[in-house]
Amino acid sequence: MALLTLAEAKAQLNLVGDSDDTELQVYVDAVTPVIEEFIGPVEPRAVVEQHDARGGRRELVLRTTPVLSVTSVQPLLASGVSYAVDGLVLNPDTGEVRRRDCGWFRGLLEVTVQAGRLDVSPTINLAARMLVQHLWRTQRASRGGALAGGGNDYSVSEPIVGLGYAVPNRVLELLQPYRLPPGVA
């Protein structure tokens, strides 16, 4: 599963033929980490995190969300305890992991999860298409400064602090319902 395919990007840009495919594929590949910065993993992948539960914890809160499944919870030290994944309860959106028996996690732990989404919502896909369109058009400005296709639809008068001009507001607005909670990135 891909966030965006080359064919979808070409359709968004109304490109026919394959003369721009190699260059456009770079843009398609580049938008995934940008989108994931705002909403977490889209394309499923294994993620390994370390958690310190030496004082005992009722729950572990994963730093990567959304999570499809917990693959393993293993001790980092030989004297530690492993936790069977079928004995865990996961909240995939918040990344909270609890023991089904209401026990405590203890020790330094390595938690391996499968993070990402099973499918890409049409809204997230549209945001990726629009981001590719924005980047494609802004890099193709004519000598006079006007954007390819005319007008200034892809110009941004003021950047959002820290974002520069790479991600237009219309893309951020589409991603808003899927945004990571504050403090998660």
User: Can you read off the two tokens belonging to residue 56?
Assistant: 């005992």
The tens digit of pLDDT for each residue in 10-20 reads 999 999 999 99
Residues 107 and 22 in one domain: no
Report how far Cα 50 is from the mean position of its chain's Cα atoms: 20
Instruction: Please say whether the beta carbons of 28 and 6 come within 8 A.
Output: yes
Give the number of domains in the chain.
Answer: 2
Task: Examine residue 146 and state whether it is found in any structural domain, yes or no.
Answer: yes
Task: Examine residue 72 and state whether it is found in any structural domain, yes or no.
Answer: yes
Residues 72 and 34 in one domain: no
Task: Examine residue 67 and state whether it is found in any structural domain, yes or no.
Answer: yes
Residue 17: left (phi > 0), alpha (psi -120 to 50), or beta? Answer: left
Which residues on neighbouring strands pair with residue 49, listed in sequence order? 111
Residues 56 and 110 in one domain: yes
Task: Examine residue 173 and state whether it is found in any structural domain, yes or no.
Answer: yes
The tens digit of pLDDT for each residue in 42-87 reads 989 999 999 999 999 999 999 999 999 999 999 998 888 899 999 9
Residues 127 and 111 in one domain: no
Instruction: Please say whether the beta carbons of 24 and 9 come within 8 A.
Output: yes
The tens digit of pLDDT for each residue in 130-146 reads 999 999 987 765 434 44
Task: Check pLDDT > 60 for residue 110.
Answer: yes
Q: Which domain holds residue 168?
A: 6-42+118-178
Amino acid at position 27, single letter: Y
Is the pTM higher than 0.85? The answer reads no
Among 101-105, 112-116, 134-138, 175-179, the minimum mean pLDDT is found in: 134-138
| Amino acid 52: pLDDT | 96
| Amino acid 41: pLDDT | 94
Task: Examine residue 11 and state whether it is found in any structural domain, yes or no.
Answer: yes
Q: Is 47 helix (H, G, I), strand (E, B) or coil?
A: strand
Instruction: Please say whether the beta carbons of 64 and 112 come within 8 A.
Output: no
Q: Is 6 helix (H, G, I), strand (E, B) or coil?
A: helix
Read off the pLDDT band of 164 (50, 70, 90).
low
Task: Return the closest-CA partner of residue 43 out of 112, 128, 110.
Answer: 128
